[in-house]
């Protein structure tokens, strides 16, 4: 079984504890536990650890040393890029998802800062950052996170009414903003989702080309609830896989409830059938959905091994402690 982890190098290796020796100790623990792919957040947040002229100055140059040490340990590094808040868009003030809201309606703050792929400037910026990452560093692939519209929980009732989405809607809806009747019409919903999918997929296709030019794999953090989240948010990863856009999908199947996890894995295995895309099922040690004990985390790995899933991706590296590393190493030593 291939074992990957999503990582947050800025917090796993805080300033002052980020010497080459510190990095080697940390990544060495991952390697000894059987991890072969490290998938770090490097472009976003208040403290990016990768700089260059496109993103401004990095807090510190951490990505370069991380890649170097990872390679010396035999670990691949696939940096994360994406929409939402993963990679900054082209502007501080423009190009964001604008939820259709009633006057005075309170919406979550994240929804106001979601980089929107309807803006080709955003797509161009993310592609340029990706090229720079792959050209300046010896990356082993590229990983897409939040390559989709904002969470369906807000999006379903609040379609984007930014300048570009309004413009696009004129063609197929005949007006810029859907009214209440439109929102209840399945035909409008179908075309609204198609519009989102076209924009999001446009970015995924360009990133595929960028990876192909360098003969590198492209992967995705795929929304766990395929029909409830992935499809309405314009991230039809089953279709992208069938069309050869993805080398592997790290499905966000992490869930502290074993039954729920199992149902996700069954569904994700089924929807990838017939494609060449590998499934690395997401296993959450600690996520927004809850915490697993090290033993319960291993139980999820054992299930994946039993049913022959090709890989797993842990959320996230910084949640792993000595007991996890010990149990993981034991599991990986006997896994298929």
Cα 69 to its chain centre, rounded Å, is 23
Binding residue count for Zn ion, defined by CB under 5 A: 5
Phi and psi at 25, nearest 5°, equal -65, -45
Of these, 30, 162, 224, 292, which contacts Zn ion (CB under 5 A)? 162
Give just the sign of the alpha carbon dihedral 32, 38, 42, 44.
negative
**Does residue 75 interact with Zn ion by CB under 5 A?**
no
For Zn ion, the closer CB: 162 or 320: 162
Residue with tokens 């992208």: 240
Looking at beta carbons only, is 149 or 264 nearer to Zn ion?
149
Residue 276 vs residues 60, 131, 238: alpha-carbon distances, Å: 38, 25, 11
Q: How far is the CB of 236 from Zn ion (least distance, A)?
A: 18
CB of 164 to Zn ion, least distance (A): 5
Question: Cβ of residue 178: shortest distance to Zn ion, in angstroms?
Answer: 13
Strand 218-222 vs strand 142-144: parallel, antiparallel, or unpaired? parallel
Least Å distance between CB 320 and Zn ion? Answer: 38
Query: Could you tell me the maximum CA-CA distance found in the chain, to the nearest angstrom?
Result: 62
Residues 113-132 that bind Zn ion (CB under 5 A): 116, 118
Q: Tell me the closest approach of the beta carbon of residue 122 to Zn ion, in angstroms.
A: 10
- Whether the CB-CB separation of 283 and 4 falls below 8 Å is answered with no
Q: Which of 160, 221, 279, 317 binds Zn ion (CB under 5 A)?
A: 160
Task: Give the helix/strand (H/E) hosting 3.
Answer: strand 2-7
One residue of 165, 238, 283, 314 binding Zn ion per CB under 5 A: 165
What are the residues binding Zn ion (CB under 5 A)? 116, 118, 160, 162, 165
């Amino acid at each position: 079984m291939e074992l990957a982890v999503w990582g947050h190098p800025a917090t796993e290796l805080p300033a002052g504890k980020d010497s080459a020796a510190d990095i080697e100790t940390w990544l060495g623990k991952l390697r000894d536990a059987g991890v072969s792919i490290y998938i770090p957040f490097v472009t976003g947040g208040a403290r990016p650890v990768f700089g260059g002229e496109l993103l401004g100055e990095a807090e510190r140059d951490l990505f370069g040393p991380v890649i170097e040490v990872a390679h010396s340990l035999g670990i691949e590094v696939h940096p994360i890029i994406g929409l939402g808040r993963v990679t900054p868009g082209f502007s501080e003030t423009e190009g964001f998802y604008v939820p259709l809201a009633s006057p005075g309606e309170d919406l979550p703050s994240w929804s106001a800062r979601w980089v929107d792929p309807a803006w080709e400037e955003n797509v161009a910026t993310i592609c340029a950052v990706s090229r720079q990452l792959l050209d300046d560093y010896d990356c082993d692939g590229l990983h897409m996170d939040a390559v989709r519209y904002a969470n369906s929980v807000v999006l379903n009732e609040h379609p984007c009414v930014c300048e570009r989405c309004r413009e696009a809607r004129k063609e197929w809806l005949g007006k810029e903003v859907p009214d209440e009747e439109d929102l209840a019409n399945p035909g409008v919903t179908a075309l609204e989702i198609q519009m989102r999918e076209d924009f999001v997929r446009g970015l995924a296709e360009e990133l595929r080309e960028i990876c192909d030019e360098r003969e590198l794999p492209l992967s995705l953090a795929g929304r766990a609830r395929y029909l409830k989240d992935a499809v309405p948010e314009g991230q039809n990863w089953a279709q992208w896989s069938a069309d050869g856009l993805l080398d592997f999908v790290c499905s966000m199947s992490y869930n502290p409830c074993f039954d729920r996890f199992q149902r996700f894995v069954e569904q994700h295995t089924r929807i990838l059938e017939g494609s060449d895309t590998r499934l690395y099922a997401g296993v959450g040690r600690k996520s927004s959905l809850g915490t697993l004990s090290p033993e319960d985390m291993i139980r999820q790995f054992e299930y994946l091994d039993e049913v022959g899933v090709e890989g797993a991706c842990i959320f996230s590296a910084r949640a792993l402690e000595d007991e996890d590393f010990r149990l993981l190493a034991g599991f990986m030593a006997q896994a298929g």
